[in-house]
Amino acid sequence: MRILRFISAALITCVGVLQSAQAITPMPSPMPTKEVITIGYVKVGQVSPLHLVEEDLKKMNIEVKRAEFVRYADARTSLLSNSVDVSVVGPADLAIAASQGSKNIVGLSGVASSPKYLVVRKGVTINTWDDLKGKKIAVAPGSAVWFAWAMTLVENNIPYNTFTAVNIQGGGTAFVQALKRGDIDAMLSWEPFESQVVAEGAAYFATNLVDYSKSKAVGQELGLLAASGEAYSKRREVIKRFMWAYLNAEAKLAADSNAFINTYSQFTGLPLEITRESHKLIKLGGVLDKAQVSRLAEASFKQGVIQTDVTKAAADLYDDSLAKEIRGR
């Protein structure tokens, strides 16, 4: 009986995994004529499903071209100029685009969430807010992680000038190098660079401080799949099929840790020992909604990050109807 119960439990588990992996509507029919879609991407773990979309899109008569970016900001610029059809950008990019008077971007879905902790160089002690005093902390000014941190400080009544902010431009590698050289005491970065320095023994997560992904103004979303407004209005069926391919890959990776680890490694070029640690922090599946887009835009205006109140305009740029349709919601 024990063996039968074990087998039954195992079958239930397998069925649950399969249901999770297939928790979307059937594949759409192929496009009547061959189409080409240009996908913008940043090599970060939360959008690893992008690595797997080409096979499904090919079945739907869509050829993929890719454009790599180092920063979400660069991807946003390319979307607004119609240089790419779809791309991953930052959750705040809808507010930024709206504040610039542009409507040529449509948010399609969030991608993932994770806890966020300050990454502190080994040998430096930061366990309390008071420990921030006199510390040099690397930030990417205007980035999603910087704003989440800044708003967490506001929500906890911690003055921003408690520490010395060291502005670093470019990708996460520059943060890693600065920390290893001892130029900074801590960094506000993103995966996989956070887990990289921790896995290598050069830093640790300051888990005694608050998880700054839980800022009410910014929220836990790590990224945003978006389309250019032109592509969304004129090539909606192509965008719909891209979303199906992405969400299909996302469901499969969310249900299979080993597949996620391996795909993450292939997508970013990072060794498995790093992606194995980093994937533990990332929960695939977007958590963004219109209400959070509004809160983010409102906070950005109140804090002077953008100069125009676009609370409603930013929310109007978010349309997750395709994602809901594909998920059968």
For residue 177, the model assigns a pLDDT of 95
Sign of the torsion formed by the C-alpha atoms of 10, 15, 16 and 18: positive
Q: Please give the model's pTM, rounded to 2 decimal places.
A: 0.84
Residue 277 lies in a domain: no
**Cα separation, 47 vs 67, whole angstroms:** 14
* Together in a domain, 35 and 166: no
Tokens 């999770």 label which residue? 20
Residues 6+ positions from 55 with CB-CB distance below 8 Å: none
Is residue 9 assigned to a domain? Answer: no
Range of the domain at 130: 119-214
Give the count of domains, the chain.
2
Tell me, yes or no, whether 175 and 256 share the same domain. no
Residue 247, CA atoms < 13 Å, CB-side half-sphere: 27
Phi first, then psi: give them for residue 241, nearest 5 degrees: -70, -35
Q: CA distances (Å), 99 to each of 104, 153, 197, 298, 308, in order?
A: 12, 24, 36, 11, 6
pLDDT at 118: 96
d(CA 153, CA 277) in angstroms, rounded, equals: 27
Domain co-membership, 227 together with 88: yes
Instruction: Count Cβ atoms within 10 A of the Cβ of residue 96 and give its class: 0-12 exposed, 13-18 middle, 19 or more buried.
Output: buried
What is the domain-level CATH number for residue 86?
3.40.190.10
Query: What residue type is assigned to position 76 of the chain?
Result: R
Six token digits for residue 226: 């978006």
Q: Tell me, yes or no, whether 124 and 140 share the same domain.
A: yes
Q: For residue 257, is it within any domain?
A: yes
Does residue 11 belong to any structural domain of this protein?
Answer: no
Same domain, 102 and 125: no
Specify if 12 maps to a domain: no
Last residue of a domain, one of 178, 197, 214: 214
Residues 6 or more apart from 154 whose CB is under 8 A from it?
217, 303
* Predicted local confidence at residue 169, as pLDDT: 81
- Domain assignment present for 18: no
pLDDT in tens, 68-98: 998 888 999 999 999 999 999 999 899 999 9
Residues 226, 304: one domain? yes
pLDDT given for residue 23 in this prediction: 64
Q: What is the pLDDT of residue 304?
A: 85
Domain contains 21: no
Strand partners, 42: 69
What's the rounded Cα separation, in Å, for the pair 235 and 179? Answer: 45
For residue 278, tell me if it sits in a domain: no
Can the peptide bond before residue 30 be classed as cis, meaning omega within 30 degrees of 0?
no
Which residues of the chain are modeled with pLDDT < 70? 1-23
SS3 state of residue 317: coil
Same domain, 207 and 225: no
CB atoms within 10 A of CB 29: 10
Same domain membership, residue 48 and residue 88:
yes
Tell me, yes or no, whether 52 and 128 share the same domain. no
